[in-house]
Structure 1
């Protein structure tokens, strides 16, 4: 009975997490869904593959509706034998996003229990982690994969700790499954950042083992962790291999071009350029909003209420009460340097206070591992504001330059700080009375000293940002800016007081416990309740019930416009270009689009528009026939991409369809090849390309094509697209001479194969990004099939890894059993 009783606190915590997750996101109980802008964009991108699977029952690994064509590996593709995904789905049994919030809680709770934290304190610690403002606001943006990966981070750390603490079998099991689930979450940036913290753990426990001369334990621990990592990678092999393969095709890889669109030389790294990587860099002083939420204004759309300078200013301008309230609910208070900020990454004043208390009072050296994780990732989150360190990591730390928005590395701070906080809270109750008072006083003096400095130093801040230059252009704007600055100053002061109040209340609760006026349990509940309330009150400003909508609004996020209806009447094969919305996914939802919404969009498709099309948009507009709504003169690049329709947006945001009558169609024979010798030359040649007559070929890549550069195309030569599926194209060709055909499809040799009369033949990259194929004379059947070997190879590795997993764990349990039996025999 006693053995069963010890699990009661964990069962209660589990049930509590379910209840709290559902209460926080209570609209899910009414069938509503959280409106998530990125998920809406994803649904636009994935619509074609979703429809294909619904119609055929087959998984689609290539979509024709985005960026001229791309693999679906980062668009929710499902792979064979992905049993880890099924496990993940079983764990996340609640409606979204309550499932992720529950996973935050549960995973962090397991980590704290592994750290030998009392269940009640671990319960509140899990809530503090889960309600960390950054972890909540990413739901509103639709960063589900990021939330998913963050949620498994504590579980990975727990597994590693178990192994290093000689709990080998359970440690191996937890580590293997946790790492497998972490990878399966499919946000490799978050997983990569976690490795920095795990590296600190590795160094710490290695030094500890070397000093203690427990080499067998050290080698065994590293062996188990290595084995766990290999198995976890193996069971995710298909996803990892497919992503690695596609990454060389995406904007996350180094460009072949060494020039800017204007022809000037550009500086390149092994992947993305420095400015793109560091575009979202946390301000150094701005980091204080981890403790004081709106010190830098909060977000870019804050509700300041009716008792505010902004509201009064609008009223004084003659606006109605309703108009003033509407204006005051959407005020750009944020004055930091990041381009877009929806909310501060607030982790809690109380969490910070208790974490500092831990650093003063806790004698366990493992606290320095978490401190190291906090310091390093905080420094890295400053990005371009700490150029030396950032440049070093970009140029010398493997894979660091594959990820942008360096400010998001701060998730490690969000992970480590609540751990230290709960360690600090538990330490408080273990201290002698004099030490409780001593460290409480030290921490209080430090915190309120910081508040005092910020209060007195308020005038050192300008309360303006580069975005405010817009207001300075007119007299009226300058008046409004002065009001906005006053509003920002009021919020600054208010949140200093707010954090001070919460910390003051916690000090009071701990002082009552110190004096024995309240029990340890009561004090824990008081402190934990205040800690959670502090966070939830901020969270609800940014993600609340108002963000939920009826389910159908997320299930069918886009409605056809008259322009869409008009274009969809055309049943031929073509593409659509929306100049004002190329990087949005609404067009993808209905049409085969040249653009889309993706952080890993195909690089060459992106570059063709940046270098060739967008600089000449004004030229296109000059050639519109307003009466017939046709394009009298197109760009050769658009023609070769088979862009038959353009969607032009009017001033009232209505789309107008524009017919490009000169689009080349699905395929055509060319008369000649223009040989170039570098990617730069290829790109430059596109500007003067006669796409219907010639093809550009990089002779360095494909020297075999240089032997014949001209072809006879007779008047009767034809290429007809007979059968079209996203992953299969069939053409019939007729030509009396040896010919060379260009296809308006993206060249991707990591899966697309060409066949002539059922015989596999090589095809080539032409015109920088399209497919070209030599075709012999006569009538032929030409096919392109998407046959990615990476799926087959990955599937085999996945199966083998699951076998290895069972052998690995079976061997571990057998070894543990034998060890136990040997110990019992020795006792006899």
Structure 2
């Protein structure tokens, strides 16, 4: 027991250290403050209805009417039955947000390096380097929490793979199952997909090595064990995965049935996102160097250039007071790279890149090649349309690649690989097996490459024009003098940060040189690198995410305050929708009303298309059929005004005529001239069988015919209908086949999609109760699989631990 305690003590101290560092960086959380994350504010607005419903009823709704007319909540924080792996995830993230994610970065990477047989001191050093990589901090600042969540579990997944390849089959299986299940819990499949690329590169490297060592049986046995672990991990997340897969087909990530654009021109047919959307954020070749020099390309889109800037002098010349001029310099468009906008540079660190290059010379074998391979693959793919032949190949050939946008985020792979190889450079440096001459030669080459690159940038700065993509806009609005000042500030950033990088390279080289000359100890080198890595990365991180990003928790948890306009609209106790054309906060209306707006990366494709074709063009008939009773617009004084639409169709109505068309193009185009109160459009190519069940598509309605809402909840709506004749009703609710069921007097009946996005159904004469219930089968099926998988894993986990302890006891006997 004493030996075990001594063995675990260093790791326990590292664990405590990670907790302290995480809380120290995000220290406002200790005062009860929360980070102000723009994406999370949108999420709060989008998810309020379902959260209120859960709190009021104790039940879960998997549909919300608060955004885009209505959509599933699968990507809005839905809670699923038997999702026990989520409970484990919540237990692991015991620190207040976002310190919890920073801690996960640290501990996951630390475990990975331990699994690679790295000393705990160097493992801790590598963990700090990974966790403080600028991109990983930036995404916490803006609220990309699910992305950070998925990235944090990547090293743990790799740990399970490494253990299995090291013939630790049982522990490898258990670690990989848990890690992969946690990775999937994060629910950011783009990051998990990119992790798969790195795993493939790792697998190829191990396959080549296994073939060379004639260990192919072990290799394929390991792969088989890992496949089993991944399958079980998928089972533990079955509900989430199945629901997401089902919804993806109907979302903007799925295939459209339209072959025309809103202007009538032919549309490029794709199975996923348009190529322009996929490659919109493509990394420039020169921009790659901001991995090494943070503000080489000006930093983020808008930077604080300070009092010593040319921009400050420009505003003074315009007549601004010093205080006014300083205020103006806080948001200067310094970025001159290739992307449309950029929150901050994806800075890996001058010190880490120095060590990475050193590792290229000192580290040998499969470890080096899968890390270098992963780094190169992620960098090349991040170039997007700048490297069109490779990007086009992946879009056209590699499955699912066309489902994701913002391809520069694939650089998370190199942000993981570089610190690993950098740490192994130090491992080899401290290894007596490597000859001193080889170490010294590697140091010389590394210093020449990294230091030489920094010097070349300084010497040839005049060859860069420092021109940004949006300079034309600023020139038109502020004049050429402003652009000249901005370019001067861009050059200043370029010079300062390049010189900063050169100093860090020289310090790194100097420490290693003195170590090789036996002037300083190994521990001194580790401490020295810890200091300069933290100085390097934290110094850049604090430019973008610091205490100013925090605010009182009430402002985060209740970001939207009710105003007089909201009070006026909310006095209306009927069920209706709101179109907000005034507020720039896209999810604000969703916080208070059933809204046609919202904020989500994967809204329903049909609604998105309807918006582009008609809502954006103010087609009032379409707004009427969506029961848009209020439109928040700008009055003549520039203030928000609630325009009341008296022509809104209401919640449901009987029509006179059901017109069939032959495809989606005709269906959406017909809405241009449709009288939605009297007519409805149905796509015969989809609902021909239903049309055949109707005696006629012409119906008789009179003034006494009515459909009234009796009960209206997100996942259940009841109506009472009265009609002297057989009729066809249109319901102002979004059609979603995978879950919504219609009931007539308690009996399940078919319903169809009409008017491109709405629900419609035949209702016989007389008085009836009509109910729509959201009863997605995917939830019941998925939760059953998740429960079964949990039981299986629980038994395997206990059996595995028993076998391990029994084996160790026998070995020690």
Q: Structure 1 length as normaliser, TM-score?
A: 0.95
SS of 1:687's equivalent in the other structure is: coil
Q: Deviations over 1:738-774 (max 9, x none)?
A: 1100000011111110000111000000000100000
Which residue among 757, 765, 788 is the counterpart of 1:777? Answer: 765
The answer to whether 1:410 aligns with 2:436 is: no
> CA–CA distance in 2 between the matches of 1:664 and 1:216?
69
Bigger Cα displacement from structure 2, 388-397 vs 1-10: 1-10
- 8 Å Cα contact 1:583-1:595 kept in structure 2: no
Q: Say if 1:273 and 1:300 are closer, same or farther in 2 by CA, change over 3 A.
A: same
Post-superposition offset of 1:824: 8.8
Distance 1:363 1:601 in 2: 47
Residues 287-333 of structure 1, C-alpha deviations (whole Å, 9 max, x = no match): 11000000000012211111111111211221101011111222111
1:657 to 638, 642, 658: 642
Unpaired segments ≥5 residues, structure 2: none
Deviations 1:499-540 (A, max 9, x none): 011111111111221121211001110012101210000000
C-alpha contact (below 8 Å) 1:84/1:235 kept by paired residues:
yes
Note the C-alpha offset of 1:812.
Answer: 4.0
Report the equivalent of 1:705. Answer: 691
Q: Is the 8 A contact 2:355 2:425 kept in 1?
A: yes
Indicate if the aligned counterparts of 2:582 and 2:640 stay in contact, CA closer than 8 A. Answer: no
Aligned to 2:655: 670
Asked whether the equivalents of residues 205 and 366 of structure 2 are also in contact (C-alpha less than 8 Å), the reply is no
In 1, Cα distance between equivalents of 2:246 and 2:607: 17
Tell me the equivalent position of 1:753.
Answer: 741
Tell whether 2:458 aligns with 1:455: yes
Q: State the SS of the aligned residue for 1:7.
A: helix
RMSD of aligned residue pairs (Cα, Å): 1.6
Partner of 2:779: 791
* Aligned counterpart in structure 2 of residue 766 of structure 1, from 732, 754, 762: 754
Residues 558-637 of structure 1 mapped to structure 2, 5 A cutoff: 558-581=560-583, 584-615=586-617, 617=618, 635-637=620-622
C-alpha separation in 2, matches of 1:25 and 1:472: 39
Contact 1:36 1:141 in 2 (8 A): yes
SS in 1 for 2:654: strand
Q: Secondary structure at the match of 1:411?
A: helix
Contact 2:634 2:640 in 1 (8 A): yes
Mean Cα displacement is larger for which, 743-752 or 574-583?
574-583
Residues 206 and 366, structure 2, Cα contact 8 Å, conserved in 1: no
Q: Take 2:639 and 2:540, find their aligned partners in 1: how far apart are those partners?
A: 37
Query: How many angstroms apart in 1 are the aligned matches of 2:635 and 2:685?
Result: 45
| Matching of residues 133-212 of structure 1 within 5 Å | 133-212=134-213
**Offset, 1:226:** 0.7
Aligned to 1:508: 510
Q: Say if 1:652 and 1:149 are closer, same or farther in 2 by CA, change over 3 A.
A: farther
Is residue 544 of structure 2 the alignment partner of residue 542 of structure 1?
A: yes
**CA–CA separation in structure 1 for the residues paired with 2:497 and 2:760:** 62
Match of 1:295 in 2: 296
- In the alignment, the residues of structure 2 paired with residue 809 and residue 297 of structure 1 have an alpha-carbon distance, to the nearest angstrom, of 51
Residue 196 of structure 1 deviates from its aligned partner by 0.2
Q: Which residue of 1 aligns with 2:723?
A: 735
The superposition leaves residues 574-598 of structure 1 with CA deviations (integer Å, 9 ceiling, x where unpaired) of 0000135588100100010011000
CA distance in 2, matches of 1:297, 1:729: 54
Shift of residue 809, structure 1, vs aligned partner: 3.4
Aligned to 2:472: 469
Q: Is the contact between residue 124 and residue 529 of structure 1 (CA under 8 Å) also seen in structure 2?
A: no
Count of aligned positions: 807
Q: CA deviation at 1:612?
A: 1.1
Q: Is the 8 A contact 1:121 1:528 kept in 2?
A: no
Q: 1:518 — aligned with what?
A: 520
1:329 partner SS = helix
Partner of 1:297: helix, strand, or coil? coil
Partner Cα separation in structure 2 for residue 438 and residue 651 of structure 1: 73
Q: Separation in 1 of the partners of 2:524 and 2:613?
A: 65
Give the Cα–Cα distance (whole angstroms) in 1 for the partners of residues 387 and 591 of structure 2: 41
State the SS of the aligned residue for 2:569: helix
Tell me if structure 1 keeps the 8 A contact 2:84–2:790: no
Q: Secondary structure at the match of 1:784?
A: strand
Q: Could you tell me how far 1:73 is from its partner in structure 2?
A: 0.5
Q: Give distance in 2, aligned partners of 1:390 and 1:331.
A: 33
Name the structure 2 match of 1:688: 673
Counterpart for residue 393 of structure 2: 392
TM-score with structure 2 setting the length: 0.97
Gaps of 5+ in 1: 618-633
